[in-house]
Amino acid sequence: MTGELTGDLNATVDELRGSLADLMLQVGADVSKPQQMSRFLGLDKSLARKVARIVQADEAGIAIQNLPGSEGFNILLSAVERLGASAERVARARQAVRSIEGVVERHFGDRPSVGDRGRWPSIGVA
């Protein structure tokens, strides 16, 4: 299961990172400055930091640990839509979120179980 988990996570996290990076670029949000991004998008600072960490993460495990809940993603995607993000890019991000949720459900059962750090040895999270 570990190899399958690693493959699933890497693929889905790469897609999520890419889709979020594209959205931030399209609307002019700078993920290297989460506080500024928070104000620009009208997001809670915590949500902006999580999004920045996901986009900048080198490893799938780090990105997974920073996943906002479904409501947080909906808030984010609504914000970028208001700023003119294309429907195609928003749909790509929504699909990436659904894919991540599918991996979480398949390998962990539910979101709270993802926090069990003992399950992360092969993807670089101690």
Residue 118 has a pLDDT of 43
Q: For residue 29, is it within any domain? A: yes
Q: By residue range, what is the domain housing residue 64?
A: 2-105
Amino acid at 53: R
In a domain, residue 39? The reply is yes
Residues above pLDDT 90, as percent of the chain: 61
Whether 119 maps to a domain, the answer reads no
Q: How much is the pTM?
A: 0.83
Q: Is residue 110 part of a domain?
A: no
Domain membership of residue 96 (yes or no) is yes
Count: domains in the chain:
1
The 10 Å CB-count burial string (b at 16+, else e) for 40-58 is bbebeeebbbbbbbbbebe
